[in-house]
A and B are shown apart, each in its own frame.
Chain A
């Protein structure tokens, strides 16, 4: 093998990005500065996030995040399929709350179509979105506690999450890859069994959250590892475009469910939880409190769940009931047309976002009037939130890195798209 020329051994761009950042300490090879590579295969990075960290002793001088290890090109796939075909792909974005991604996507398509969904479907969507938020926050809280050394919490929160996933299983036949929402409605109706299971879950949930919180609220190790760690000022949070629990933990009461209500959130009574401290501990408490608010919303939605159809009456846009497809001529034709040619949306462009568990999950769709989107951009909250990671890491200790990543709660499926 020939010797490498000078061009080939040049410094890699990512390392250069690390070096170019301003640091207050001069770089000196004799100094104890070192570059540490974390990930992409590291349990504390919550997936395949890769970090290059420049350390001075144990203090982080600067860092660069490297994404793309889970890039599957979903925006390209979306352009090459019909609107219906993309619904299963949304499961794989934020795989901790797939069902709310389904809802977010179909809401964007329905906005493009100008389609009104019956109230029963809207309430069921609220129900599943809030269950997904609880499931996702449970993982977030548990894994963040595990990252800083409290393993018990993870086991307890996963036990609770299992109950939510069981409800999804009964509701749509899948625990994770739900693909539950449909353009103009839902895959299946909400069943009385789901109501019973959800009621049983809610009855225990309040006490379970109290128990989980009690494990950590007065835990000196947990508080010491999280308090003041990963601080980002309110101004920086807004400037970096953070959303979700991170922005609310910095004191900005921004919640799409309240500010730009979609579905039936304007008819429901809940609080937008905020905190002032903007550190890892504040984010933890915001998530805990949001789970309680979600439980409140679930109870109200269960009480208010109206009877009626769960699919809009619009045969040219909404997939027909499978049973009728097999037995009725007209439904068969519509099914054939919808699958092969797709919905016929108007020409235009829309942006629709939902408040997912990680922040603002938005879909920007450009339609050229055919059955395939001309362009679909997924605004994933995890990616935007990760962008502020180098700012939070700067000046932190090396052991704080895992706590900060845990408090950000990134899901790489969504960040890498």
Chain B
């Protein structure tokens, strides 16, 4: 299946969920409406023509812009077609909540925890949304662009005696 055929296939089924698509170096990226990500995920996973059954990666991107500041990127792989697909949703800074896709791909669990840890994007319905790398009491989100490279002094308390 070519990139255009994949876009058409998804668009035919869920026309209002797809906001756009782009292609760069033969990588296909599809921008999905935030609230529809689970429906799109279920479709691309279960559709017999697509079968994107392996979740390679879920990560956040801080675009550092006033509107729709964050992106959540889903890199998927189809063992059947042997090709990748990238889904994307955008979410604002005020209420960064995205529906979880752990119901579709259980393997997205830790990836979503990492995205929460690093960007502060919450995943609604996630079974175990704890920080994964940073300590639980840490209050900042290190991969946001406004977090300084050197860190924030005193943001990590020493263990109490």
Contact assessment for B56 and A360 in the assembled complex, using a CB-CB cutoff below 8 Å:
yes
Q: Is the CB of A349 within 8 A of B107?
A: no
Please tell me which one of the listed residues A14, A17, A375 contacts residue B61 in the complex, with CB atoms under 8 A apart.
Answer: A375
Partner of A353, one of B56, B59, B61, B62: B56
| Interface residue B128 (Cβ < 8 Å from any Cβ of A) | yes
Known: A349-B29, A387-B109. A14 touches B24 (CB 8 A): no
Within 8 A of A (CB), among B121-135: 128, 130-135
Q: What is the chain A residue whose CB lies nearest that of B161? A: A1
Interchain nearest-CB distance for B111 vs A (Å):
8
Give the residues in chain A near B83, CB-CB below 8 Å.
260
- Contact mask for chain B residues 78-118; partner A; CB cutoff 8 A; 1 contact, 0 none: 01001110100000000000000000011111110000001
A80 CB–B CB distance under 8 Å: yes
Contact assessment for A259 and B136 in the assembled complex, using a CB-CB cutoff below 8 Å: no
B25 & A111 in contact (Cβ 8 Å cutoff): yes
Query: Is B29's CB under 8 angstroms from A71's CB?
Result: no
Which of B57, B110, B143 lies in contact with A76, CB distance below 8 A? B143
Q: What residues of B have a CB within 8 angstroms of the CB of A383 in the complex?
A: 110
Given A13-B136, A353-B56: A366 and B61 interface contact (C-beta under 8 Å): yes
CB neighbours of B108 from chain A (8 A):
241
Q: Given the complex of chains A and B, what is the CA–CA distance between A374 and B105 in angstroms?
A: 27
| Interface bits B124-161 vs A (CB < 8 Å: 1, else 0) | 00001011111110000011000101000000000000
Q: What residues on B are CB-neighbors of A387 within 8 Å?
A: 107, 109-110
> Cβ of B75 and Cβ of A67 under 8 Å apart?
no
Total of A-B residue pairs, C-beta within 8 Å: 98
| Residues of A in contact with B, size category | 35 or more
Q: Which of A20, A114, A239, A384 contacts B128 (CB 8 A)?
A: A20
Q: Please, what's the 1-or-0 string for B51-70, where 1 marks a CB less than 8 Å from any CB in chain A? A: 00111110101100000000
Partner of B57, one of A114, A242, A379: A379
**A261 → B minimal CB distance (Å):** 10
Nearest residue, chain B, Cβ from A348:
B24
Partner of B132, one of A67, A75, A114, A240: A67
Residues of B within 8 A of A260 (CB): 82-83
CB distance from B6 to the nearest CB of A (A): 16
Q: Is the CB of A377 within 8 A of B57?
A: yes
Q: Is the CB of B75 within 8 A of A348?
A: no
A364 within 8 A of B: yes
Contact partners of A238 in chain B: CB under 8 A: 53-54, 79
Q: For the complex, is A171 an interface residue (Cβ under 8 Å from B)?
A: no
Asked whether any CB of chain B lies closer than 8 Å to the CB of A355, the reply is no
Q: Which B residue's beta carbon lies closest to that of A80?
A: B149
- Complex alpha-carbon distance, A366 and B135, angstroms: 27
| Contact A384–B25 (Cβ < 8 Å) | no
Residues of A within 8 A of B55 (CB): 241
Which residue of the partner chain, among B27, B54, B134, contacts A71 with CB atoms under 8 Å? B134
Residues of A near B82 (CB, < 8 A) are 259-260
Q: Which residues of A contact B32 (CB under 8 A)?
A: none
A71 to B75 alpha-carbon distance, docked (Å)? 23
Instruction: Say whether, besides A239-B106, A362-B57, A348 and B25 are in contact (CB < 8 Å).
Output: yes
Whole-angstrom distance between the Cβ of B10 and the nearest chain A Cβ: 19
CA distance A73 to B147 in the complex (A): 12
Say yes or no: B59 contacts A68, CB within 8 Å.
no
Residues in A85-122 with C-beta less than 8 Å from chain B:
111-112, 114
The answer to whether A17 and B128 have CB atoms under 8 Å apart is yes
Q: Report the minimum CB–CB distance from B8 to chain A (whole Å).
A: 22
Residues of A within 8 A of B106 (CB): 239-240
Residues of B within 8 A of A366 (CB): 61
Residue B73 CB within 8 A of the other chain: yes
Find chain B residues with CB under 8 A from A240 CB.
106-107
**Given the contacts A73-B142, A240-B106, A375 and B79 also touching, CB distance less than 8 Å:** no
Q: Are B57 and A71 in contact (CB under 8 A)?
A: no
CA distance A349 to B29 in the complex (A): 9
The smallest beta-carbon distance between B5 and chain A, in angstroms, is: 18
Task: Please tell me if A290 contacts chain B, counting CB pairs below 8 Å.
Answer: no
In the assembled complex, A252 has its CB within 8 A of some CB on chain B: yes
List 19 additional A-B contacts (Cβ < 8 Å) besides A67-B133, A238-B53: A17-B128, A67-B132, A68-B131, A68-B135, A76-B147, A114-B25, A239-B107, A240-B107, A241-B56, A241-B107, A254-B54, A260-B83, A348-B25, A350-B27, A362-B57, A366-B61, A375-B61, A387-B110, A417-B133
Closest 6 CB pairs of A and B: A241-B107, A68-B133, A348-B24, A71-B133, A377-B59, A240-B107
Q: List 28 A-B contacts (CB under 8 A).
A: A13-B130, A14-B130, A17-B130, A71-B134, A75-B118, A76-B147, A77-B149, A111-B25, A239-B53, A254-B54, A260-B82, A350-B27, A351-B75, A360-B56, A362-B56, A362-B75, A364-B73, A364-B75, A375-B59, A375-B62, A377-B59, A379-B56, A379-B75, A384-B111, A387-B109, A387-B110, A388-B107, A416-B133
